[in-house]
Amino acid sequence: MALHDDIRSFTKKYKKNIETRTELNDKLFKICDQDKWLKTLKNRAVRCQKLYKDNEKLISGLNSKLCGELSDKAGEALFSSIFDVFFDRFEISDVPIIILLCRTAAEHFEKKKDYNRLVRIYAFLTYCNMEYYSRIRVEERDKTIEYAKKTISFKEHYAELDDPEARLRIFRTYANLMGNVLEEHTGLRDGDFSIYDEMMALWSSETVQKMDGNNSDIRNEVEWMKDNMVYVCARNLLDYRTVHSEEIRNSEIAFIKEKLEEHDKDIEKNTICWIADMTLKIINSEITPLDAIHKVIMKTDAIAKPDFEKLTPEENCDILDEKYMMMELSVAVLRKMDFTEKERTEYGRQITFRFFKDIHKIPNNLFTNYVDDICKEYFSMVRPFLNGVGEKEQKLMQIFFLRQPLTYIHCLLVGSLAYRLGSAIIEKNPEMLVGLGELDSIKDVISKENGILDFVRRAGLIHDVGEIIMPTIINMQTRSLTEDEKSFILKHPEIGVEYLKEDTDFEPYRDVILGHHKSYDGKSGYPAGFDNTASPYRVIIDIISICDALENAEDYISRAYKEPKSFDEIFREICEGAGTTYNPYIADMIKNDDALRKELRFIVTEGRIKATQEVYRNIVTCVQYGGSPYFRLNAVDMVNDG
């Protein structure tokens, strides 16, 4: 078979496998009958393992054939594959594969100086790198910027670009560079308008106006850039973290005023103009704090609701973007203006309620990376308005529950295992917990049992909070991970700690989040720079480490990349690693307690199936009928119901 036929065959089969995986997941949200659902769950596990092996074979075969120089037919086939595997701009099916195809295609078309193809390829590389890698590693943003500047460099050949889509991609890359990369990297928060000015100069040029002055798609992209600049300026002016010179501040105010003059008659219809107008009123003290927050909440409620059956993905994303901007404005108003603590808490809770009401209605399988990012940012914004670690944990778990149900189920089961293990330690070896926090004696341990178990359970629930930022493909794993992805996985404890670092309520859980993948003796595991043996929470880390191992090894539902082990197999490995990898005292306690082993085994077998079915059923209820999801966070119920 010729290489171009091999490429087309790969694309067809690989895309089909991705679609099949999606269909298998979707079925779990549609079946109500318990027996049919359980049969579907088991069939999904078997099919996903086969898909994983098929994808491995496909990728390996393609890699071996893309080493040499491409023929023209192969180059065209590869170019077509990029836009076939890449389903649309909101759902990234498998970025590392796309990047592999893009880099190979770019090398081919560079030799041919095919600027039309090169613009589109580098634009995709910019977007893929931005959406997939930059969200985890700051240093990857430099690579994204490099791809973006390469894309934009083809403006020098604008007159030679006969593909309107290629010309559009230059402007869209400007938008991505400004709105998603530099904004978080160095630029716009520091008042850097240079990218915007460069784009406007290109748009105003004689060549562009002659070719595309009436191109509605490009005009819309330019208008989006203008709106985004206004929004960034407004946000900078209200951001308590941003300190600008008087010159930059005045330039931002002038830019906003210019935009408002253009839209004088339709400010109410344009959300960004409305935000800008409100910003000027706030900084000029033309509105009271209570009037400001009331108007912001009313405006938020007036925004259309997403409709995932009737509206397009683009339209729904636009609505979610508007709601996100209003959320940012709400939080800025509460932080910037002079409220009483009671008022700030009351209105903060109203904002929080609106956020979770919106998120509950978003289908789990729609624009996952995009919505996961919004959820991460939303939670960070509303966290100060939540009441203590208990409510914060509840809301954090709602995000896991709705957006990453398999991660949620894992955390739920680890929390359940930890609760039961903690209970056994208090009963049989309470001295292990002496010295933890304010526990100075065995008497303290016994008298504070409920508080200890609540802490242990919560540690299990939030230990993998760093995975909320992981791209979906890493959590789903429909193929073996790339080296970059493996390095991302190793960073999830540090990512979790970084995400919660400004919240003192989560400080007691810091070491557990950071150290649950360290060996008992501290000589292996990750992160390398963390010494779990010196942690005051070492015993809790040890508990979560063992529970994490028990849960992961038995998981046949979400881990298609490996055959599950039985409870007895993994427990035997824990015993063999006692004293080095795992806490020897906890391992011995489990080994010598038949009833405890039975309960732990139940949680990761029958308990797993019950938890999975309940989670999926409640997600369906949430999306269809709204309201808050029902949570089973009580480990005792998980066991007793059995």
- 642: pLDDT confidence band, cut at 50, 70 and 90? very low
Domain membership flag for residue 78: no
Rounded CA-CA distance 200/272 in Å is 19
User: CB of 129 within 8 A of CB of 145?
Assistant: no
Rounded CA-CA distance 78/101 in Å is 7
Burial of 270 (0-12, 13-18, 19+ CB in 10 A): middle
Domain membership flag for residue 277: no
The secondary structure element, H or E, covering residue 446 is helix 442-447
- Asked whether residue 631 carries a pLDDT value surpassing 70, the answer given is no
Q: Which two tokens stand for residue 375?
A: 């959820």
Report the length, in residues, of the chain.
642
- Asked whether residue 638 carries a pLDDT value surpassing 60, the answer given is no
Domain count, the chain: 1
Residue scoring higher pLDDT (85 or 322):
322
Domain membership flag for residue 467: yes
Rounded CA-CA distance 149/126 in Å is 9
Of 81-95, 126-140, 305-319, minimum mean pLDDT range: 81-95
pLDDT of res. 542: 96
Domain membership flag for residue 541: yes
Which residues, 6 or more positions from 293, have their beta carbon under 8 angstroms from its beta carbon?
Answer: 330, 333, 334, 337, 339, 347
Domain membership flag for residue 461: yes
> What does the pLDDT look like over 181-205, one tens digit per residue?
555 544 444 445 788 889 999 999 9
Identity (one letter) of the amino acid at 219? Answer: R
Mean pLDDT of 555-578: 79
Closest CA to 55 of 468, 473, 487, 490: 473
> What does the pLDDT look like over 389-445, one tens digit per residue?
888 888 888 777 767 778 888 888 999 999 999 999 999 999 999 988 888 999 999
- Asked whether residue 565 carries a pLDDT value surpassing 90, the answer given is no
Closest CA to 58 of 81, 80, 76, 42: 81
pLDDT of res. 317: 82
Rounded CA-CA distance 81/79 in Å is 5
> What does the pLDDT look like over 517-560, one tens digit per residue?
999 999 999 999 999 999 999 999 999 999 999 988 766 666 65
Which residues, 6 or more positions from 564, have their beta carbon under 8 angstroms from its beta carbon?
Answer: 553, 554, 555, 556
Taking the CA atoms of 609, 610, 615 and 616 in sequence, report the sign of the dihedral they define.
positive
Query: Rounded to an integer, what is the distance from CA 118 to the centroid of its chain?
Result: 30
- Asked whether residue 88 carries a pLDDT value surpassing 80, the answer given is no
First to last CA, the chain: 56
Mean pLDDT of 339-368: 80
- 639: pLDDT confidence band, cut at 50, 70 and 90? very low
Range of the domain at 553: 388-640
Residue that the structure tokens 């242990």 belong to: 456
Of 169-173, 195-199, 272-276, 362-366, minimum mean pLDDT range: 362-366
Taking the CA atoms of 486, 492, 493 and 495 in sequence, report the sign of the dihedral they define.
positive
User: CB of 391 within 8 A of CB of 628?
Assistant: no
- Asked whether residue 632 carries a pLDDT value surpassing 60, the answer given is no
CATH of the domain at 599: 1.10.3210.10
582 in helix, strand or coil? Answer: strand
Q: Backbone phi, then psi, for 525, in 5-degree steps? A: 90, -175
Domain membership flag for residue 213: no
Domain membership flag for residue 596: yes
> What does the pLDDT look like over 133-166, one tens digit per residue?
655 565 667 788 889 999 999 999 999 999 999 9
Mean pLDDT of 582-600: 94
> Residue 611 region, left (φ>0) first, then alpha (ψ -120 to 50), else beta?
alpha
Residue scoring higher pLDDT (614 or 198):
198
Domain membership flag for residue 395: yes
Rounded CA-CA distance 494/514 in Å is 6
- Half-sphere exposure of residue 393, counting CA atoms within 13 Å on the CB side? 23
572 in helix, strand or coil? Answer: helix
pLDDT of res. 87: 46
Rounded CA-CA distance 526/514 in Å is 8
